[in-house]
Amino acid sequence: MDKKSNQAIESIDPRITRAKIEQTGDKSDMEDLAHFQTFEVFHQNKRGAQHKHVGIVHAPNPDMALLYAKEQYARREVTANLWVVPSSCISATEYSDDDIFSTTPEKKYRNPASYKVIDRINAFKKRGSKPSDKV
Amino acid sequence: MDSIDALKELLYKMADDQLIIGHRNSEWTGLGPILEEDIAFSSMAQDKIGQSEHLYNLLNQLGEADADTVAFTRNANQFHSSRLVELPIGDYSFSLIRHFLFDFSEHLRFEALRSSAYEPLAQVSKKFFGEIKYHTMHANTWVNQLGNGNEESHRKMQESLNYAWNYALGIFEPGPAENILIDDYIFIGEESLKNRWLDTIIPLLKKSGLTIPSEDTWKPIFGGRTGLHTENLQPLLEEMTEVYSIDPSADW
């Protein structure tokens, strides 16, 4: 490549032109970020509710991960609390072992919605009475 | 100058500071050092412009023109913003240092104004106190990270701090009728605010390995509050108002 490739980018956006960004194919900037790691972000919408996994952020440490989690995942939602956990702390099952879960869809009796108590819940809903009442 | 004029002066300088630094910081959108930081910094810039709108609305209730007219139709010499906020974004170390110095002053100003005798301003201050607290957490975390980082990051942060310092002292240019506001329990006054600010930031900067210039070199750069600006403000206003100037009724 000739030297023209190192000229600053010219854009219709004056901010880009002002920033004098050189056009290079240099990837070294990415290597500079090698000390960054990913953090898994968990979001809680109100106190007492469970934290739900919402995605990841890249950051050099937990403090900065929390800063970013706030803007990535809590700038539109109602939020009570955030957790960040280094992705490297997550242990996971292998997708190749997903046959360990293959028969669970059949075991409806393990799902509370199918359990006996549902009769009492429905009876309660119908009568609008107190949960302690005998069915 | 009566009490209402003094109050308007306070509101104008606050609103103009928020609008101009919000616009300045938005210049990093798309150019931030990493994606997450780009989003965070842009989001905070947007917060500041939103805060300025609320303050312009308070001025509107006091008889000034509506927020868009006030924001988009004045010339540089009609702006009450401090000179610190109009300076170009520079490199990221300068933008972070300005973010740190300005946002702590802003946080302490809103903290004090939460108990202002002027109820509408107290309400706005309570509303935005938490939002600005995040801005200071963001600023302090970055300053700490880079101040205590490597030799290069430390040097850049220290140089930017040295450069920004007298401009930052210029935030606290005393208002012409501040005594009225102090007597009426509307505002604690710039001198008290500056002392609270110094008490807050000096230990934080020390923790970040940074030192403020020695006191005998302090020379606050005033002028912004009375419309005397650097050559940087007018081009900023022209860029900010480009669409409005072409079509004031444009909407999206």
CB B174 within 8 A of CB B189: yes
Shared domain for A46 and A82, answered yes or no, is yes
Best of B25, B31, B36 to disrupt the A interface (most A CBs within 10 Å) is B36
Give dist(CA B208, CA B246) in Å, integer. Answer: 46
Instruction: Convert the pLDDT of each residue in A123-135 to its tens digit.
Output: 888 887 665 555 4
Residue A114 lies in a domain: yes
Distance, in Å, from the CA atom of B4 to the CA atom of B188, rounded to the nearest integer, reads 16
In the Cβ-directed half-sphere of A31, how many Cα atoms lie within 13 Å?
A: 3
Asked, for residue A2, whether it belongs to a domain, the answer is no
Domains held by chain A: number:
2
Which one, of B86, B115, B83, lies nearest residue B27 by Cα? B86
The answer to the question of residue A77 being in a domain is yes
- State pLDDT tens for residues A80-106: 999 999 999 999 999 999 999 998 888
**Does A124 touch chain B if contact means CB atoms closer than 8 Å?**
no
Residues of A in contact with B27 (CB under 8 A): 15, 18
Measured in angstroms, the CA of A113 and the nearest CA of chain B are apart by: 41
CA distance B85 to B13: 11
Q: Cβ of A75 under 8 Å from any chain B Cβ? A: yes
Domains in chain B, start-ordered, CATH in brackets? 3-246 (1.20.1260.10)
**Domain encompassing residue A44:** 34-91
In a domain, residue A41? The reply is yes
Instruction: Tell me if chain B has a CB within 8 Å of the CB of A70.
Output: yes
Cα–Cα distance measured from residue B80 to residue B9, given in angstroms and rounded to the nearest whole number: 8
Complex prediction ipTM: 0.81
Which of these, B110, B112, B89, lies nearest to B99 by C-alpha position?
B89
Report CB contact under 8 Å: A71, B27: no
Taking chain B (252 residues) in runs of 10, the rounded mean pLDDT of each run is 92 98 96 92 96 98 96 96 97 97 98 97 96 97 96 97 98 93 96 98 98 97 96 96 87 74
Tell me whether residue A6 is in a domain. no
Hey, CA dihedral for A53, B41, B113, B74, is it positive or negative? Answer: negative
Sheet holding A52-59, edge to edge: A52-59, A37-44, A81-86
Residues of B in contact with A64 (CB under 8 A): 141-142, 145
| Cβ-Cβ contacts under 8 Å, B31 against chain A | 15-16, 19, 21
CATH number for the domain harbouring residue A47: 3.10.20.520
